[in-house]
Amino acid sequence: MKLDEIRDNVGARKKRMRVGRGIGSGKGKTAGRGVKGQKARTGVAIKGFEGGQMPLHRRLPKRGFHNIFALTFNEVTLGRIQKAIDAGKLDATVPVTSETLLLAGVIRRPLDGVRVLGGGELTTKVSLDVSYATKSVTEAVEKLGGTVKVLVALKAEAAEAV
C-alpha cells in the first residue's frame, strides 16, 4: 500500500443534498418543506405556541431564584488528596491549595475555592489552605499532625474591587 492509494471506505463521506435546484433533482420546488404556510418559511420558532392560548410554560407559577452572588467550589475528598500524594503528583510538605491541586491534576479548573470533604482515608501529614473543610477532615488532618487553614472565598469580581 502506498500513501497515494489511501481512500475512505465506501459510504464514509456522504454528499449533502442540494435542495431547491429544479424539479428533476427530486428536491426542487419546495425543497422538502412541503407546501405553503408558516413552517415552509424561514425563521419559524413555534416550539411553545398553543394556537393563541397561554402556553403551558407561562401558565405555571414561577418558583425560587438564582443567586448571582453564590460561590461555586471544587469539591475534593481526603482519599483523592492521598491518592495524588501516593502517585507523587502532590508534595505533602507544601500546603495544599487550589493552585497545587490544579497543577497535580486533582481539579480541572479553579473555581471560587476548594471544599475538602471526608471521603477516603488520609495517611500522610499534610497542611490544607482551603475555603472549607468538614469537621471530620479537620480531625483527620490534625490527628496526623497537620493543619487546616480555612480561607475566606471571594468572588473574582469582588476580589478585584478590594
Residue pointed to by grid coordinates 471560587: 112
- Backbone conformation region of residue 137, classed left if phi is above 0, alpha if psi is from -120 to 50, else beta: alpha
Where does residue 73 rank: exposed (0-12), middle (13-18), buried (19+ CB within 10 A)? middle
CA distances from 36 to 17, 33, 148 (A): 21, 8, 70
User: pLDDT grade, residue 162 (50/70/90)?
Assistant: low
pLDDT at 49: 85
pLDDT of residue 51 exceeding 70, the answer is yes
Pick one of 3.30.70.920, 3.40.50.1360, 3.100.10.10, 3.50.30.10 as the CATH number of 74-161.
3.100.10.10
Instruction: Quick: pLDDT tens for 103-134.
Output: 999 999 999 999 999 988 999 999 999 999 99
Query: What is the domain partition of the chain in residue ranges?
Result: 18-61, 74-161
> Can you tell me which residue has the cell 420546488?
29
Q: How many residues does this entry show for the chain? A: 162
Residue 81: per-residue pLDDT: 94
pLDDT of residue 159: 54
Q: What is the pLDDT confidence band of residue 153, given thresholds at 50, 70 and 90?
A: low
**Residue 35 confidence class, pLDDT cut points 50, 70, 90:** confident
Whether the Cβ atoms of residue 130 and residue 81 lie closer than 8 Å to each other: no
Could you tell me which of 129, 103, 111 has the C-alpha nearest to residue 74? 111
